[in-house]
């Protein structure tokens, strides 16, 4: 992806991205806990509530990224996700990014850690979706 000098100077730091992800995780964890309680599941137990929680995670990330260009955690941290042209990602791009984020986290979070040494601070899901995280 060709990235302009302005975008490179505006890339979000890994620390801010981590805090945003932590905020999103807390929000989604509370929602998942409530759904699990409704279905009578213990924390970590698989069941109908787990499937519903996964769907809510997908909707949360795909809808917010494609409509706002960020998540609630990203808003708090002043971050924005943009496509290769500097625009908000489409629903399709946001969906690809979310799906690949599952892979990024599955391999001991290596896909997320990739941003630590990548020159454009991109995770695996950023690379696959052709997105960047910048300061809003």
- Looking at residue 8, its pLDDT comes to 61
pLDDT in tens, 25-35: 999 999 988 88
- Looking at residue 33, its pLDDT comes to 86
pLDDT in tens, 36-68: 888 877 766 666 667 888 999 999 999 999 999
pLDDT in tens, 63-115: 999 999 999 999 999 999 999 888 999 999 999 999 999 999 998 999 999 99
The domain of 88 spans 5-135
| Cα separation values, 52 from 35, 39, 101, 129, Å | 8, 10, 18, 25
Number of domains in the chain: 1
- Looking at residue 41, its pLDDT comes to 73
Sequential DSSP letters for 39-51: TTPPTT--SHHHH
């Amino acid at each position: 992806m060709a990235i302009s000098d302005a975008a490179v100077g505006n890339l979000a730091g890994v620390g801010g991205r981590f805090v945003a992800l932590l905020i999103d995780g807390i929000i989604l964890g509370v929602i998942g806990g409530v759904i699990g309680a409704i279905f009578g599941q213990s924390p970590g137990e698989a069941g109908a509530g787990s499937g519903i929680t996964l769907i809510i995670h997908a909707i949360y990330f795909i809808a917010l990224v494609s409509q706002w260009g960020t998540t609630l955690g990203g808003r708090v941290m002043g971050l924005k996700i943009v496509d290769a042209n500097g625009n908000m990602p489409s629903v399709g791009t946001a969906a690809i990014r979310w799906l690949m984020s599952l892979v990024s986290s599955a391999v001991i979070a290596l896909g997320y850690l990739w941003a630590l040494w990548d020159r454009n601070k991109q995770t695996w899901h950023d690379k696959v979706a052709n997105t960047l995280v910048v300061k809003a």
